[in-house]
């Protein structure tokens, strides 16, 4: 719809009807009156099949049955003793960062109780989250 308030010239305005206003809105009186007079309703019809989207995302997120931790360990072992020692120092430093982060104290406590979404494996704090129909394990990052 074109609105001409007599000052700024014709302005094309695209509007959507909603019960919630996401941000503040400032209209001139002329613009408001023009909007009221020229209300047009257009129905949006989605041509997307939600089941297809879900299946595609699920396939993309599926993790192969290979043990990822074993693969990482194998890679670090093959790359030489120096890098393995560096990797261990980095791992130890990361675990210490997690342990001393005051924002993670509740998460550590929940992980120690077990049966929660938080867990401790090899000293590393992680959590499980249900995403796209499957449980995904994620490492908890310190601040």
pLDDT per position as a tens digit, 67-96:
555 555 555 555 555 667 777 888 888 888
- Residue 90 within a domain: no
- Residue 31 within a domain: yes
pLDDT, position 65: 47
- Residue 131 within a domain: yes
User: With a cut of 70, which residues of the chain have pLDDT below it?
Assistant: 1-28, 32, 35-36, 38-83
Q: How far apart are CA 104 and CA 110, in angstroms?
A: 10
- Residue 77 within a domain: no
Q: How many domains does the structure of the chain reveal?
A: 2
Provide the residue range defining the domain that includes 28: 2-49
- Short-list 121, 122, 127, CA closest to 141: 127
pLDDT, position 136: 82
Q: What are phi and psi of 26, to 5 degrees?
A: -125, 115
| Strand duo 134-139 + 124-131: pairing | antiparallel
- Residue 75 within a domain: no
């Amino acid at each position: 719809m074109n609105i001409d308030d007599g000052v700024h010239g014709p302005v094309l305005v695209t509007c959507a009807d909603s019960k919630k206003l996401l941000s503040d809105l400032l209209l001139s009186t002329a613009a408001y009156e023009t909007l009221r007079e020229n209300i047009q309703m257009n129905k949006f019809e989605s041509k997307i099949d939600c089941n297809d989207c879900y299946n595609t995302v699920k396939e993309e997120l599926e993790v192969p049955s290979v043990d990822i931790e074993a693969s990482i360990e194998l890679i670090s072992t093959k790359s030489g003793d120096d890098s393995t020692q560096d990797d261990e120092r980095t791992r130890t430093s990361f675990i210490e960062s997690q342990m001393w982060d005051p924002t993670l104290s509740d998460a550590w406590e929940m992980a120690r109780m077990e049966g929660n979404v938080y867990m401790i494996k090899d000293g590393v704090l992680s959590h499980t989250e249900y995403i796209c129909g499957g449980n995904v394990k994620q490492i908890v990052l310190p601040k």
